[in-house]
Structure 1
Amino acid sequence: MISWNDYRYVLAISRAGNIPSAASQLAVNTSTVFRRLEKIEELYAIKLFERHRQGYIATEAGQEIIAAAERMEQEAFTVDRALTGKDQQLTGRLRITTTETLAASFLSRHIPSFSQENPGLYVEIISDNQRLSLTEREADIALRPTRPKEETLIGRKIGTLNWGIYGSRLCYDNKSFRTAKDLTGHRFIAWGGGPLAQQTTDWIKRNIPDARIVYESSSMITNAQLAANGSDLTLLPCLTGSRWQGLTPLLRPLEGTEGELWLVTHKDLQKNARVRALLDYLVKAAKEDGPLFEGKDQEKDCTRDN
């Protein structure tokens, strides 16, 4: 009879497409995965994968086992969330996932004080632009610039994110710009981070005549430092640009760039004491940071510290 561990191995091979990658996911060596697959196939006298140059392709029998493994995995996640949701102790690990920019500009200023107030909690910040699964417990809380669409998730809008145009304080501190057209012909650093990034580039081309996009990076954090170190301009969320050392705002907030900031968790975890504590803390922090989000803060108070 196939054990749960056997199902895990088959599922890992299916997702990885090859033995070495599956071994890495399972934190075992390659020979262990290979022997386990051979054992299962010998036990049932049936082949679960076809071996091709492009990888391991599941046979019909393999697909049946993979489907069963996925159902078992989801049941395990459900039980885990249900038990975790009943936990009322302010101790243990708490994982929050967000983008690199939000982690650096928002969480980095508030998690230290939260940690001091809750010494029993170990907070793990996962700053990655890839969206992690709250359903599969890859994280407990997500801080996202979009409203959650999944029925199993609950979210709360905690802010409006506006954007601005920022440049080096050394180059632009004493210069005044009233409209985007005043920046005609200026050099810009573009953000190459996906659909939202393309929207910012489109905004530059649409609103600033003869704007010159001279280079780009996939990281807004990198763009902020590039602008601070040179004479080129870049679009940044006001939350980031207004607090970045060496930058000064030229125009903010920019019309037509408004976004939303959401705190999200799974329905099963909303009553967990650890999750509830961090959610409440960040809601309060976001309310205090409202002027920063919207680009309506006083420049002299927030552009000299990072």
Structure 2
Amino acid sequence: MDNWDDYRVILALARGQSLRAAAKQLSLNHATVSRRLAALNHRYAAPVFENSPQGLRLTALGLRLLAAAEQMELLIQGNRRDELAATDALQGDIRLSLPPAIAQWLLLEELMAFQQQYPRIRLHIHCSYTLASLDSCEADIVVRVSNNPDEHLVGRRLFPVWLAYYCRPDYLTKPANRLGWITASGTPDWIATSPYPNAGVALVLDDLVLRHQVAAQRGGLVRGACYIADQMPQLQRIGDGTPHPFQDIWLLTHENLRAVPRIKLLMDYLADCLHRKRDLVEGRLT
């Protein structure tokens, strides 16, 4: 098989274990991936995948093709990093991945200013809490909030994101047994040490920014990021108001890209922008 697109289909099907998941990875529709799989099976006159209770499963033939696909993927990723590293001028593309909340509340204006200052550098900004892979060339630079970043990546640890407890002042006029927390999932352990340990969970909401916005609309209590909540005049800190550190902000890139001028330029620029907002991040501006 000499078509890289066919190998990409095999990789996506092996990792997703379903046509739907593979279609999402490949940005194709379900029917297209189904046709591509049928074409693969026809080409070899033997199935590459077979159905199982757990989803699509590679056959013996499929396992051999997958091994070849993984080798090709590594070569293509290495070639892309080598090409990027060979470009010395402050021009070209940079793929930046960062959490939506940090993009919106800390770096939006700064990223716009960078683009205006360096118009020959084109930013591709990926905002997601899903961690983009530097090894797979999904990003060239990532901003991560983590205590355990991948050890083989290079970059710098900046400082922690700090959290405190918040709500609208008029929310506390509700009876104590009606108070509730807005959380990311279930009943987190931190409720037990919060200012209202007996309050239940009013709402489970996976979006960080929306949790703050719901609290600002009198929807509940929230353990919020100071850099978001302290910029929302509707919210005030509750309890003793003392913030506490959460996880560190990291700026990371791949070892092969650390010396690329435009990568280094943006890394230094982002670090400077975030350091200038350290007081906001650490909750010292109230």
TM bin (shorter chain): 0.7 to 0.9
Gaps of 5+ in 1: 176-183, 300-306
> 2:189 matched to which residue of 1?
202
Amino acid at match of 1:219: D
Q: Give the match for residue 165 of structure 1.
A: 165
1:8 to 1:260, Cα distance in 2 relative to 1, 3 A = closer
Deviations 1:57-108 (A, max 9, x none): 2112210110121011011101211221222222233222122222222222
1:274 aligns with 2:259: no
C-alpha contact 1:191 1:217 (8 A) present in aligned 2: yes
Which has the larger displacement, 162-171 or 103-112? 162-171
| Residue type of the alignment partner of 1:233 | L
2:92 corresponds in structure 1 to 92
Q: Which amino acid aligns with 2:81?
A: R
Q: 1:187 aligns with which of 175, 179, 188?
A: 179
Identity, % of aligned positions: 25
Instruction: Pick closer, same or farther for the CA change 1:8–1:220 going to 2, 3 Å.
Output: closer
* Displacement after TM superposition at 1:259 (Å): 2.3
Task: Note the C-alpha offset of 1:219.
Answer: 1.4
CA contact (8 A) 1:41 1:47 kept: yes
Verify the 8 A CA contact 1:191 1:220 in the aligned structure 2.
no
Q: TM (normalized to structure 2)? A: 0.84
Q: Counterpart amino acid of 2:189?
A: D
| Counterpart residue type for residue 166 of structure 1 | Y
Secondary structure of the residue aligned to 1:122 is: strand
Aligned AA for 1:37? L
Residue 83 of structure 1 pairs with residue 86 of structure 2:
no
The amino acid of 1:131's aligned partner reads L
Give the 5 Å matches for 1:229-244: 229-230=217-218, 232-244=220-232
Alignment-derived partner of residue 153 in structure 2 = 153
Amino acid at match of 1:67: A
Identify the residue that residue 38 of structure 1 maps to in structure 2.
41
1:254 equivalent among 240, 243, 247 = 243
* Number of equivalent positions: 279
- Partner amino acid for 1:187? L
Alignment match, 1:302: none
Given the two structures, how large is their TM-score scaled by the length of structure 1? 0.79
Q: Distance in 1 between matches of 2:166 and 2:265?
A: 35
Separation of aligned partners in 2, 1:234 and 1:206: 13
Partner of residue 217, structure 1: 205
Partner of 2:122: 122
Distance (whole Å) between structure 2 residues aligned to residue 169 and residue 185 of structure 1 = 17
Change in CA separation of 1:245 and 1:81 when aligned onto 2, cut-off 3 Å: farther
Structure 1 residue 16 displacement after superposition:
3.7
Rate the CA distance shift 1:185–1:155 in 2: closer, same or farther, 3 A.
farther
2:193 partner letter: R
What are structure 2's unaligned runs of at least 5 residues? none
Q: 1:259 to 1:78 in 2, by over 3 A?
A: same
Letter in 1 for 2:205: S
CA-to-aligned-CA distance 1:197-230 (integer Å, 9 cap, x gap): 96xx322222434334322311121111111111
1:107 matched to 2:95: no
Q: Residue deviations 1:228-274, cap 9 Å, x none?
A: 1116321111111111253233454434x432111111111112222
CA RMSD, Structure 1 to Structure 2 (Å): 2.9
The amino acid of 1:202's aligned partner reads: D
Q: Distance in 1 between matches of 2:62 and 2:219?
A: 58
Cα shift readout 1:45-65 (whole Å, capped 9, x = no counterpart): x44222457543211221011
**CA separation in 2, counterparts of 1:150 and 1:210?**
37
